[in-house]
Amino acid sequence: MNRAALWIGSSLLLALGLVGLWLGIQPGYQSYGTRLITPKPAYDFNLIGPQSQSIRLSDFRGKVVLVFFGYTHCPDVCPLTMLELSKIYQALTSQEQTRVQVLMITTDPKRDTTAVVSRYVAAFNPSFIGLTGSASVIAKTAQAYWVGYYTLKATSPQQYEIAHNADVFLINPQGRLELIYTKDKTAQTARVVRDVRWILAGR
């Protein structure tokens, strides 16, 4: 994806969020995460997880799934976001944790093999799952979640950075995309946990 696609995706996401907030959907609980006008079925990707096993989003039906797109060589945003997701997960009770799954989908399949991305996410929490796949499958999955990314600062074929959206997507137990957290929101652990518990309670 190029730079234009990244900003187009970001603009679309912002527009959807603003409309959802303006409509004030479902009064009685004001979610912290940005809500879509109507929760849409989340794209049921088929990616590669630990031990090269095929993993689909639908494998986690019945759970709240928090999805983040990043890469293991990311110098700042990705480790920070994963740390914040770890704090959110740890703030849940052990029973709640069994009903929540954190997934990181790499935007750098060239360097992020299954072993590399699995080790990376496990450093934040052993229950987290890292996913990779072919460049085309990753691109299709990212597009389905309005995530744009492109390579920049390439000094060699193996030394480069990737610009990408840093949003976290909350998918409800029915497999619908329910809430979106921009990178400035995930640091508010208690408020995200409150949203997760609201979804787990069936809204």
Between CA 62 and CA 173 the distance in angstroms is 4
Residue 59: which H helix or E strand, with range? none
Report the distance separating Cα 168 and Cα 99, nearest Å. 17
- Exposure string of 121-152, with b = 16+ CB inside 10 Å and e = fewer, is beebbeebbbbbbeeeebbebbeebbbbbeee
Instruction: Give pLDDT, residue 8.
Output: 43
Angstrom distance (rounded) from CA 151 to CA 154: 7
Task: Decide if 142 contacts 133 (C-beta within 8 A).
Answer: no
Single out the residue of 13, 132, 135, 129 nearest to residue 65, CA to CA.
129
**Separation between Cα atoms, residue 73 and residue 60, nearest integer Å:** 27
Q: What's the rounded Cα separation, in Å, for the pair 172 and 199?
A: 7
Q: Which two tokens stand for residue 67?
A: 């999805």
Q: Which residue has the tokens 């979804």?
A: 199
Entry pTM: 0.85
Q: 3-state class of 117 per DSSP? A: helix
* Every domain of the chain and the residues it spans: 3-200
> pLDDT averaged over consecutive 10-residue blocks of the chain (203 residues)?
50 46 55 90 97 97 98 95 98 98 97 97 98 97 95 81 94 97 95 98 85
Phi, psi of 31 (to 5 degrees): -65, 150
The CATH code of domain 3-200 reads 3.40.30.10
CB 33 within 8 A of CB 192: yes
